[in-house]
Structure 1
Amino acid sequence: MKNAKNQGIIITQTPLRISLFGGGSDLPEHFNVSGGSVLGMAINKYVYVTINSLERLQDKKIKLSYSKLEIVDSPLELNHQIVKNILIDTPFFNNDSFIDIHSYSDLPSSSGLGSSSSFTVGMLNALYYLNGVFKTPKFIAKNAITIERVKMKEKGGWQDQIFASYGGFNKISFFNNSFNVEPIAIPLEKKIYLKKSFFLIFTNLTRSSSEIQNSIKISKSIDKKQCLKMLHSFVEEGYNILYNSKKNKEMIYELANLLHKSWEIKQNLSDKISNPHINNLYELGLKNGALGGKLCGAGGGGFLLFIVPQENQVKFLEKFSKYHILNFDIEDSGSKILYSKLY
């Protein structure tokens, strides 16, 4: 039902994501020429957005609380570029209301798990619900992509917005300025075995995704074009491993080997993707039971994902006991309304 006053309290919960294969091929300058795809999953770590839209009783009409506090009278005055562009772009923003916006996250920002796009999707979802307008995950993902990649001109791919909107363990294909989401429909027992082999280690470094993406000058290097084609091809290989492996142990060994190949190739895309600290952590993982792994996100910091077979996990955990090891599960749902009260 249409909320005529555009007033109420909404809280959204939007998942972060882990990309296994294909990162970089979701850049439109690549997939509109050569196609692209990624294989990855939303996880049960979230960004929360609270919007409290009330009758205007104060001089200023927008209060925004994140790592900073902004109190302004117009979206044009905001320093937070995502919120600024969303409020300028949305036809639902009521000039007569006072709007109080808060955001929280289970994990640090700039950690390679797509938190900025999860925030964008979560805020759009909240605004639509506040105004009694139903939008599909595809519509919200496309809108978030437009906000971040077109209006803000932030360098990056499309997968973050899609995983945040849809949730799930998916293969996402990109083509002709569009995309298709295919859920990975493997047996639950196989999915659980895979999840129990994953370990996320925080590097204690954070970075700007757009800065890393800007350092990847694909069009000027044939080698880098070849790297992206190979990374794209790993999506299909990973997909086939998930569906065709006869034994679970065989599955994780083959996936880990593919992740390791991907790690080696990504080093050639940009000198900012990794650094000595991250390389040392990766080598430490391999020496202590991990079969392969990857740095989540564009690179430069954040979380390292390792695949560790069950027989090596005690040794691995002992070696990394001084580091933050993040437990996670696959989140099947995309952005959702956690709480709502409309006036």
Structure 2
Amino acid sequence: MIISRTPVRVSFCGGGTDLDSFAKKVEGGGMVISVAIAKYIHVTVNDRFDSKIRLSYSKLETTNTVEEIEHDLVREALKATGVSNGIEITTIADIPSRGTGLGSSSAVTVGVLNALYKHIGRDVSPEHLAKGACEIEIDKLGEPIGRQDQYAAAFGGMNRISFNPDGVEVSPIALSRDLVERMEREFSLVYTNNTRSASSVLSEPPLDQGDKIARLRAIRDQAAEAEKLIRSGDLKSLGALLHETWNVKRGLSPLVSNDYLDSLYSRLIDLGANGGKLLGAGGGGFFLVHGPPDLRSRLVDDLPPENRVIPLKIDHDGSRIIHPK
């Protein structure tokens, strides 16, 4: 049996500039600052006695051929690795695997590819996994998404990820042990109890294309500022920058936020957060918030149970095979 473990990610600033429609057409390309977190997609791959293909995720599938598979990400990953029959694949997620704003769908693709490559005897690089996942999701399936999630999941850690017509460049941001501990104390994730398809939000045409490009340029500039603040350890200013980013992001599309999300964000600020933003394309998922170390306990005490609060814990490994070791 092969088991892969792949992290999801938190994007501090720059989300939206990783889409090809911006990164490959606007001077300067795109840039995000993101970190992989210790919430994982586990994928198991095992041989079957017969020649059928069995998948277990939120539903069960048993098919005779790859083409019959309904799970599009797994189907294309099987095609990409040349595995055609006699296999069983299971995916297990620490958090909902779609619509959370944490890049979980791409983590599934990266994790399935990693496990399948190991199954056929190939050890592949994070770069290979990320490129392969982008080819599946964007090139083959035509999803209107960006390229940051695949690279964040494959590489792990904190990174500046740059996007341009020539490709994607991952530049690690070194974090001291003290800074990691401070980030993990001061940043929290708050579940909105709503999920949404990133594709549905990202495919919505903007009311004003010129305004959208201007906002994305501002978001890219905020990513550069976020990197400076992280490297200097100024987390309070980083939290305030998240607030500015959220205000810019809300104007990208009417689907990014709604009355409920605006009300929840105001509640988070009232409880002591000095800034935050909704992760992912918008419309639901998780808020990332920053505040003093005692903020998390206040959030847990004051928010209803459906607004689950999760500590931010950084993953440093990226997608890896955990069995066999």
TM-score, normalised to structure 1's length? 0.89
> What is the CA–CA distance in structure 1 between the aligned matches of 2:63 and 2:291, rounded to whole Å?
50
2:4 partner amino acid: T
CA distance 1:216–1:37, change in 2 (3 Å):
farther
Does residue 292 of structure 2 align to residue 309 of structure 1? yes
1:66 equivalent among 54, 57, 69: 57
Does residue 318 of structure 2 align to residue 334 of structure 1? yes
Does residue 132 of structure 2 align to residue 143 of structure 1? yes
The count of residues paired between Structure 1 and Structure 2 equals 321
Deviations, residues 258-289 of structure 1 (Å, cap 9, x unaligned):
11111111111011111111111100011110
- From the CA coordinates, give the structure whose radius of gyration is larger: 1
CA contact (8 A) 2:299 2:309 kept: no
Does residue 31 of structure 2 align to residue 23 of structure 1? no
Does residue 146 of structure 2 align to residue 154 of structure 1? no
CA distance 1:312–1:145, change in 2 (3 Å):
closer
2:139 partner amino acid: V
Deviations, residues 77-131 of structure 1 (Å, cap 9, x unaligned):
111111111222323x1x4x41111111000122111111111001110111111
CA distance 1:75–1:314, change in 2 (3 Å):
closer
Does residue 291 of structure 2 align to residue 297 of structure 1? no
Partner of 1:111: 100
Partner of 1:325: 309
TM-score, normalised to structure 2's length? 0.94
Instruction: Give unmatched runs, 5+ long, in structure 2.
Output: none
Partner of 1:5: none
Does residue 5 of structure 2 align to residue 10 of structure 1? no
Instruction: Give unmatched runs, 5+ long, in structure 1.
Output: 1-8, 246-250
1:228 equivalent among 216, 225, 231: 216
Deviation at residue 311 of structure 1 after TM alignment: 5.8
1:87 equivalent among 75, 78, 84: 78
Partner of 1:4: none
> What is the CA–CA distance in structure 2 between the aligned matches of 1:134 and 1:242, rounded to whole Å?
33
Deviations, residues 215-260 of structure 1 (Å, cap 9, x unaligned):
1549x61000000000000011111112235xxxxx1221111111
CA contact (8 A) 1:42 1:164 kept: yes
1:33 equivalent among 13, 16, 25: 25
SS in 2 for 1:33: coil
SS in 2 for 1:15: strand
> What is the CA–CA distance in structure 1 between the aligned matches of 2:324 and 2:113, rounded to whole Å?
15
Deviations, residues 30-73 of structure 1 (Å, cap 9, x unaligned):
11122011001000000011111234x36xx1111111111111
Deviation at residue 153 of structure 1 after TM alignment: 0.3
2:278 partner amino acid: L
CA distance 1:54–1:317, change in 2 (3 Å):
closer
CA distance 1:85–1:189, change in 2 (3 Å):
same
Deviates more, 1:117-126 or 1:189-198: 189-198
Deviations, residues 264-320 of structure 1 (Å, cap 9, x unaligned):
111110111111111111000111100010111111111111101236555444322
> What is the CA–CA distance in structure 1 between the aligned matches of 2:62 and 2:300, rounded to whole Å?
46
SS in 2 for 1:205: coil
Aligned-residue Cα RMSD (Å) equals 1.7
Partner of 1:283: 266
